[in-house]
Homo-oligomer: A and B are copies of this chain.
């Protein structure tokens, strides 16, 4: 009998509702505030920036304030059903390579359209944008995972799409933009000549590497200059975190299949939504005293937002165009060094992640990119799966936890979120091997 490695769920196990974390925890999620008034903007005002339903989510209006779950619209569910539920794999190859007696499981969000967890929210955002009668969504993207997901989602819901892609990633991952364009999107390397923010930065340095914060500033400026257009955000919103809870809801069912109750749950954090989505039901259970799982958010050592930042109100974008959100931040004018994990190059962390971290509900740690790439290569050699550079940070932490457990003589069940494929990041692997 061959040992079981793949834990599938049937279509009827696809969650029909998202988990409304903010309504289920004893801490109040701070709302975005207007930089001038210091007060939360009205829904009408915020709906000039985001699709109106996203603005309602962000301001916790109506059911978003109180309902424990939020029904997933039928059209979004139909798109989810094309690729979800995603399988949970047991990393038997990695376990053997490390000589570990415990179990390591990973959730395959790389199987999703465009190769990452991102469509879980981009499909919903495009749906809400179309419902508003918009003609276009605009966004920024770092590694390109978010841009490809949004480009595909806009194609599904018949919207135009404009993407400001961090110049460092645009250059390192030329085929990410090819894929966005195949889905009909327009893509600009950021800083770009399309906005004043971009032009000012290019005047200082024509080869400016860019950052997620700069791309977001350009996207907001672009939204304000093009009619019937709104901003789509991959991670820095509560709505993105809400949509990603489909991941954790499925994992909850899959844990019942494995029979191995998680001791540790690990995810990489850029903005933090794949991690939050992955742990959401488990962290609520822990707050309610139903488990004692060790949740570990792994960031890049080059951008130590949780491990070295401050918890305060700050702008989500570089230029200060967006409302302020309460989060861990290195300062909105922090320009991250050009590491290969473009998706982690951001000065802040999602408000819901920041809130839970502030209240001690998760651990944060950081990994240098050399350790991350070594972990990714080991994973490839033993599992045959090439992780995204961002995902490598989670795998590096898994390896650390395995070594710690073995040193302590303790067997722990470790779960991590395999947030995206590395097939489109091979230049980063090649460059990292050469450096």
- Using CB atoms and an 8 Å cutoff, list the residues of chain A in contact with chain B: 1-6, 8, 10-12, 14, 16, 77-78, 80-83, 85, 87, 89, 92-93, 111-115, 119, 152, 155-156, 174-175, 178-179, 181-184, 377, 380-386, 421, 423-424, 426-427, 429-430, 433
Q: Is the CB of A115 within 8 A of B423?
A: yes
Q: Is the CB of B2 within 8 A of A77?
A: yes
Q: Is the CB of A3 within 8 A of B384?
A: no
- A193 smallest CB distance to B (angstroms): 22
**Nearest CB in chain B to that of A123: its residue:** B384
**Nearest CB in chain B to that of A424: its residue:** B423
Q: Is the CB of A182 within 8 A of B384?
A: no
Are A3 and B380 CB-contacts (below 8 A) given A385-B113, A429-B182? no
**Nearest CB in chain B to that of A72: its residue:** B2
- A368 smallest CB distance to B (angstroms): 19
Q: Is the CB of A381 within 8 A of B183?
A: yes
Contact with A119, one of B12, B92, B155, B384 (Cβ below 8 angstroms): B384
Are A113 and B383 CB-contacts (below 8 A) given A3-B78, A175-B427, A178-B430? yes
Contact with A182, one of B81, B89, B380 (Cβ below 8 angstroms): B380
Q: Is the CB of A82 within 8 A of B424?
A: no
Q: Is the CB of B384 within 8 A of A83?
A: yes
- A78 smallest CB distance to B (angstroms): 7
Complex formed: what's the CA distance from A1 to B16 in Å? 9
Complex formed: what's the CA distance from A77 to B1 in Å? 10
Q: Is the CB of A114 within 8 A of B384?
A: yes
Instruction: A2-B16, A83-B384, A183-B380 given; name 17 further pairs at CB < 8 Å.
Output: A2-B12, A3-B78, A4-B81, A5-B11, A8-B8, A82-B89, A113-B385, A119-B384, A152-B384, A156-B382, A175-B430, A178-B430, A182-B380, A182-B429, A184-B381, A423-B424, A424-B426
- Which of A92, A179, A384, A421 is the most central at the interface, judged by chain B CB atoms within 10 Å of its CB? A384
- A165 smallest CB distance to B (angstroms): 15
* Cross-chain pairs A/B with CB under 8 angstroms, 11 sampled: A1-B12, A2-B14, A2-B77, A3-B11, A4-B81, A6-B11, A6-B81, A156-B382, A175-B426, A179-B429, A423-B423
- A76 smallest CB distance to B (angstroms): 11
Please indicate the chain B residues that have their CB under 8 angstroms from the CB of A85 in the complex: 6
Contact with A2, one of B81, B93, B377 (Cβ below 8 angstroms): B81
Q: Is the CB of A155 within 8 A of B3?
A: no
Are A384 and B5 CB-contacts (below 8 A) given A178-B429, A426-B175, A429-B178? no
Q: Is the CB of A386 within 8 A of B179?
A: yes
- A374 smallest CB distance to B (angstroms): 11
Q: Is the CB of A113 within 8 A of B384?
A: yes
Please indicate the chain B residues that have their CB under 8 angstroms from the CB of A182 in the complex: 377, 380-381, 386, 429, 433
Complex formed: what's the CA distance from A104 to B395 in Å? 37
The 6 residue pairs across chains A and B that have the minimum distance between CB atoms = A113-B384, A175-B426, A423-B423, A8-B8, A4-B11, A178-B430
- A9 smallest CB distance to B (angstroms): 8
Complex formed: what's the CA distance from A385 to B426 in Å? 19
Please indicate the chain B residues that have their CB under 8 angstroms from the CB of A119 in the complex: 384
- A386 smallest CB distance to B (angstroms): 7
**Nearest CB in chain B to that of A383: its residue:** B82
Complex formed: what's the CA distance from A426 to B8 in Å? 30
Q: Is the CB of A2 within 8 A of B6?
A: no
- Which of A8, A113, A181, A386 is the most central at the interface, judged by chain B CB atoms within 10 Å of its CB? A386
